[in-house]
């Protein structure tokens, strides 16, 4: 489904990784491991098309992603290092707007269920939430993204408590079970039976 | 696509409503700058009438500059800009919607309040219409050109000053035509020519700016 071909990444004149190739198939979970500064975030940004690789290419269902543009973005959810929630909006407003912008508008009822699943207070402004709750507010989008085949998550487990980790792990496993693909970065093993590991230190 | 544009305009207006001070600051800045000149120069009606169009227009440029820094910076800092770039709509549409919201919050209030400031300069009532019309045509151009600069200087250290140096020279044609239209009308001449050129500038900028802003943002996001 998603294929990385001979990827090379350079940041600030320093090569982070070279000739990195892997394939992510339907129903697979890929864990990108590596030390701080090894290029995990850069790899994910290359995979979602925000960062062009120094060389090599990313292929989605047979076509390079640069050619697909929005047709590719519509088929992926990318959650970056920053939670991408607005401090002055409530968690519910943030989620509704994020879904609408992704072309996946959701009824009130579905939004409420998604936030309940990740145990986020719905009516508080995000600036009143803790770091972990902000992360949960951003992750709640995953509960509504079942039809989106590819999930790219940068450090989704940071700031989560053990119940949060369990909820997220369940959501990811569920997505893989219904044929979706997940790639996420982490430096600790969250105890997921990840089918594949790409280790950038190796 | 229109749905995404509507959503972004709605979001930015809602955020501005929750943070009213940001909008009020730029507007108050405009009022204060435009009010300092009559105080500094003194009550000399003929002189004030002569400088009014230029002063009001320069104040409008500076006030627009003041609000440009926030256009993309906040979204960049909390990661929402990346989400906008990866949304279902093309980035060109997204930035057009953001620029429209910026104009609604910083340009349109200037258009509405300018006739009130003109009173301080003893500008004849017949000129209020031309002044407001020139601002109505000119301020969207300021927002769009400014957005290109804001996208280019995103994440650059000392970006605020760089943005002013980059954008203010590009504002010159709008300033000349906008203030010129009011001056022509004040001299009892036809101001249609200047207004038409302003309109042409608006159409031209609207055609190429979304593309330029999107390209600049992609570079800044790398």
pLDDT 10s digits, A87-98? 999 999 999 999
Domain end position, chosen among A125, A148, A171: A148
Domain co-membership, A63 together with A16: yes
Domain co-membership, A155 together with A167: yes
- Which pLDDT score is estimated for A36? 86
Quick check: is A81 in a domain? Answer: no
Domain co-membership, A68 together with A1: yes
Nearest CA in chain A to B10: A97
Q: Which domain holds residue A139?
A: 86-148
Alpha helices per DSSP H over chain B: 2-18, 20-41, 45-77, 80-85, 91-106, 108-120, 128-152, 159-186, 192-221
Mean pLDDT of A152-159: 90
Q: Is B80 close to A102, i.e. CB distance below 8 A? A: no
Domain end position, chosen among A130, A148, A166: A148
Domain co-membership, A156 together with A132: no
pLDDT tens, residue by residue, B184-220: 999 889 889 999 999 999 999 999 999 999 999 999 9
The total number of structural domains that make up chain A = 2
- Which pLDDT score is estimated for B88? 86
Mean pLDDT of A134-151: 92
Could you tell me the CATH number of the domain that includes residue A194?
3.40.50.300
Average pLDDT, chain B: 92
Domain co-membership, A106 together with A69: no
Domain co-membership, A112 together with A47: no
Domain co-membership, A5 together with A42: yes
A191: left (phi over 0), alpha (psi -120 to 50) or beta: left
Q: Is B87 close to A101, i.e. CB distance below 8 A? A: yes
Domain co-membership, A32 together with A98: no
Please indicate if any CB of chain A lies within 8 Å of the CB of B154: no
Domain co-membership, A1 together with A68: yes
Look-up: residue for tokens 């290109």? B148
How many C-beta atoms surround the C-beta of residue B45 within 10 A? 10
B23 vs A114: CA distance, rounded Å = 34
Distance from CA of A194 to the nearest CA of B (A): 26
B65 vs B118: CA distance, rounded Å = 21
Domain end position, chosen among A107, A126, A148: A148
- Predicted ipTM? 0.88
Nearest CA in chain A to B4: A101
Quick check: is A45 in a domain? Answer: yes
Beta partners for residue A8, in sequence order: A55
Domain co-membership, A11 together with A108: no
Q: Is B89 close to A83, i.e. CB distance below 8 A? A: no
Q: Which residues of A touch B85 (CB under 8 A)?
A: 50
Q: How confident is the model at residue A33 (pLDDT cuts 50, 70, 90)?
A: confident
A200 vs B108: CA distance, rounded Å = 51
A146 vs A148: CA distance, rounded Å = 6
Which one of A47, A52, A66, A70 makes the best mutation probe of the B interface by having the most chain B beta carbons within 10 Å? A70
Q: How confident is the model at residue A192 (pLDDT cuts 50, 70, 90)?
A: confident
Domain co-membership, A41 together with A70: yes
Note the pTM of the prediction, 2 decimals: 0.91
For the ranges B126-130, B138-142, B157-161, the lowest mean pLDDT is seen at B157-161
Quick check: is A80 in a domain? Answer: no
Mean pLDDT of A22-29: 90
Quick check: is A38 in a domain? Answer: yes
Domain co-membership, A5 together with A70: yes
pLDDT tens, residue by residue, B35-89: 998 888 888 888 999 899 999 999 999 999 999 988 999 999 999 999 999 988 8
């Amino acid at each position: 489904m998603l294929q990385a071909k001979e990827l090379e990444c350079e940041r600030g004149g320093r090569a982070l990784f070279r000739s990195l190739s892997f394939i992510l198939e339907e129903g697979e979970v890929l864990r990108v491991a590596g030390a701080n500064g090894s290029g995990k975030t850069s790899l994910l940004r290359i995979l979602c098309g925000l960062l062009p690789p120094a060389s090599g290419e990313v292929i989605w269902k047979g076509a390079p992603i640069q050619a697909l543009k929005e047709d590719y973005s519509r088929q992926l959810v990318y959650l970056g290092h920053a939670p991408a929630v607005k401090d002055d909006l409530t968690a519910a407003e943030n989620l509704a707007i994020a879904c609408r912008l992704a072309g996946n508008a959701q009824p009130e009822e579905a939004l409420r269920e998604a936030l309940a699943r990740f145990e986020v207070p719905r009516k508080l402004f995000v600036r009143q939430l803790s770091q972990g709750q902000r992360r949960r507010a951003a992750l709640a989008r995953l509960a509504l993204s079942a039809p989106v085949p590819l999930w790219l998550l940068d450090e989704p487990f940071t700031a989560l408590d053990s119940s949060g980790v369990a909820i997220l792990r369940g959501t990811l496993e569920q997505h893989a079970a219904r044929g979706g693909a997940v790639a996420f970065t982490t430096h600790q093993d969250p105890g997921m039976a990840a089918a594949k590991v790409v280790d950038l230190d190796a | 696509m229109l749905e995404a544009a509507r959503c972004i305009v709605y979001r930015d207006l809602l955020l501005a409503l929750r943070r009213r001070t940001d909008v009020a600051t730029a507007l108050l800045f405009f009022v204060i700058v435009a009010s300092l000149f009559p105080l500094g120069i003194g009550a000399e009606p003929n002189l004030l009438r002569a400088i009014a169009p230029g002063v009001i227009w320069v104040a409008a440029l500076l006030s627009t500059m003041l609000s440009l820094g926030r256009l993309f910076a906040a979204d960049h800092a909390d990661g929402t800009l990346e989400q906008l770039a990866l949304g279902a709509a093309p980035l060109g549409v997204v930035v057009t919607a953001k620029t429209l919201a910026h104009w609604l919050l910083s340009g349109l209030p200037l258009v509405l309040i300018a006739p009130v400031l003109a009173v301080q300069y003893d500008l004849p009532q017949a000129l209020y219409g031309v002044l407001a019309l020139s601002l109505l045509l000119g301020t969207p151009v300021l927002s769009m050109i400014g957005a290109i600069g804001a996208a280019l200087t995103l994440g650059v250290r000392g970006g605020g000053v760089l943005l002013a140096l980059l954008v203010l020279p590009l504002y010159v044609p709008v300033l000349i035509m906008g203030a010129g239209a009011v001056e022509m009308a004040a001299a009892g001449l036809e101001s249609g020519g200047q207004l038409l050129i302003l309109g042409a500038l608006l159409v031209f900028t609207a055609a190429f700016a979304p593309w330029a802003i999107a390209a600049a943002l992609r570079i800044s996001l790398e």
